[in-house]
Amino acid sequence: MTEHHIASAFDRDLEAIQARIMKMGGLVEAAIKDAARSLETRDEELAEKVRRADAAIDELEDLINAETARVIALRAPTASDLRIVLAVMKIAANLERIGDYAKNIAKRTVVLAQVPPVGDSAAALRRMAREVARMLQDALDAYVQRDVELAADVIERDRDVDQMYNALFRELLTFMMEDARNITPAMHLHFIAKNIERMGDHVTNIAEQLIYQVTGQRPTEERPKADRTSTGGG
């Protein structure tokens, strides 16, 4: 009876933590979309909203970490349950990093709003960000539904984000070579593109955590990477 009571208490605790994960995921998804929209529309007010909203994302990660630590201390979870708890902490950490990248984009948007646009790059970045936001939504759905196939699909789609990044990188290089005045804004746009590409990597980490949680094994195939440029970013 006691074991059953502990198990049901653990399940309740885990449900509460997972509800916070989904809330955090929703805030991060909105941050990605708002950051990209503020860049394309040159909306400094929306960019500032993204910067301010990052505090709520950080706060949720702190709460999730505190609650998972409490669960481990109080419930003494079995090996399989401990794997679930640790996966939750790692997912929260990845969500927090994605939120940071969205905040970085918002910061650069304020700078870019003061200079002429560089081609159609802002629209291309928004398309790239939209794909990452869709990947995140699917990764979180896969997490809730324990859907390994959907998680594997998210991992595969990261290749598309990398290819979009590569195409945009080449386009920005062309703009910089054509006109020296484009160099500074194009560098900011490149850092934004790299931030979005890194967001895709963190979404992929979330999908991999779900696969590990369900199967007990890491995805066997090497993660598809199509980023052919430097690893620098900011």
Are the C-beta atoms of residues 98 and 203 closer than 8 Å to each other? yes
Structural domain contains residue 11: yes
Q: What is the CATH number of the domain that holds 71?
A: 1.20.58.220
At 233, phi and psi to the nearest 5?
-170, 175
Structural domain contains residue 229: no
Cα separation, 206 vs 93, in Å, equals 9
Structural domain contains residue 16: yes
Structural domain contains residue 232: no
Structural domain contains residue 234: no
Cα separation, 92 vs 21, in Å, equals 7
- Tens of pLDDT along the chain (234 residues) come to 455 555 688 889 989 999 999 999 999 999 999 999 999 999 999 999 999 999 999 999 999 999 999 999 988 888 888 888 888 999 999 999 999 999 999 999 999 999 999 999 999 999 999 999 999 999 999 999 999 999 999 999 999 999 999 999 999 999 999 999 999 999 999 999 999 999 999 999 999 999 988 887 877 655 555 655 544 444
How far is Cα of residue 126 from the mean position of the Cα atoms in its chain? 15
How many domains in the chain? 1
**pTM for the complete prediction?**
0.89
Structural domain contains residue 231: no
Please count the other Cβ atoms lying within 10 Å of the Cβ belonging to residue 215. Answer: 10
Please count the other Cβ atoms lying within 10 Å of the Cβ belonging to residue 16. Answer: 12
Structural domain contains residue 225: no
Instruction: Please write down the HEC assignment for all residues of 174-218.
Output: HHHHHCHHHHHHHHHHHHHHHHHHHHHHHHHHHHHHHHHHHHCCC
Give long-range contacts, CB 8 A cutoff, 24+ apart: 221-226: 223/155, 223/158, 224/155, 224/156, 224/158, 224/159, 224/162, 225/158, 225/159, 225/162, 226/159, 226/162, 226/163, 226/166
Cα separation, 41 vs 206, in Å, equals 30
User: What pLDDT does residue 48 have?
Assistant: 97
What range does the domain containing 145 cover?
2-215
Structural domain contains residue 156: yes
